[in-house]
Amino acid sequence: MSQKIDATDVTEEEALNAVFFERADEFIKQANEFCRPAKGVQPNPAELRGQVSAAMLFATARFNTWVAANTFKDGQEMREAKSEVMSYVLQQFQMMLEDNYDEYCDQFENYLRFRKNEDFHTHKHDHDHEH
């Protein structure tokens, strides 16, 4: 649910942060939709999540490359800046990943309470031997 904010009460930085998180939420919402199995298909939640995650990583890499490309005059200039661009993007991703990872560790039971409805243990350890 989104809450209407009186623009006079919000700084420009807060407004930009709100837009940032609204956009991120829309991407997550779309990813969650992609994780829903098609009608008539036997669900495999772990496989679907893995496929969506891989597609999102690719899309993020592709989009960020396009954003970077738009800051250069030509391919040679872009090539020369590769290590700086890679360093920046990877640093930003690592910070965001670490923050979210820590939050999930702290909120694990709350965030993953839905798993009780999934057979997530079945695929946790794929072994050829019987127990």
What would the pLDDT profile of 59-115 be if each residue is shown by its tens digit?
A: 999 999 999 999 999 999 999 999 999 999 999 999 999 999 999 999 999 998 877
Are residues 52 and 35 in contact, defined by beta-carbon separation less than 8 angstroms? Answer: yes
Could you tell me if residue 11 is inside a domain?
yes
CA-derived radius of gyration, the chain: 20
Closest C-alpha among 48, 51, 44 to residue 35? 48
- Domain containing 21 equals 1-34
Residues 6+ apart with CB under 8 A from 36: 48
Write down the pTM of the prediction. 0.74
> What does the block give as tokens for 76?
């040679």
Closest C-alpha among 34, 35, 5, 9 to residue 22? 5
* Pair (81, 25) in one structural domain: no
Q: Is the pLDDT of residue 10 over 90?
A: no
pLDDT tens for 31-47 read 999 999 888 888 888 99
Cα–Cα distance between 89 and 97 in angstroms, integer?
12
What pLDDT does residue 15 have?
Answer: 82
* Pair (53, 99) in one structural domain: yes
> What does the block give as tokens for 67?
């954003």
Number of domains the chain contains? 2
Are residues 50 and 125 in contact, defined by beta-carbon separation less than 8 angstroms? Answer: no
pLDDT grade for 2, boundaries at 50, 70 and 90: low
> What does the block give as tokens for 10?
């919000």
What pLDDT does residue 3 have?
Answer: 56
* Pair (91, 65) in one structural domain: yes
More confidently predicted of 130 and 53: 53
Q: Is the pLDDT of residue 5 over 70?
A: no
* Pair (73, 103) in one structural domain: yes
Q: Is the pLDDT of residue 121 over 60?
A: no
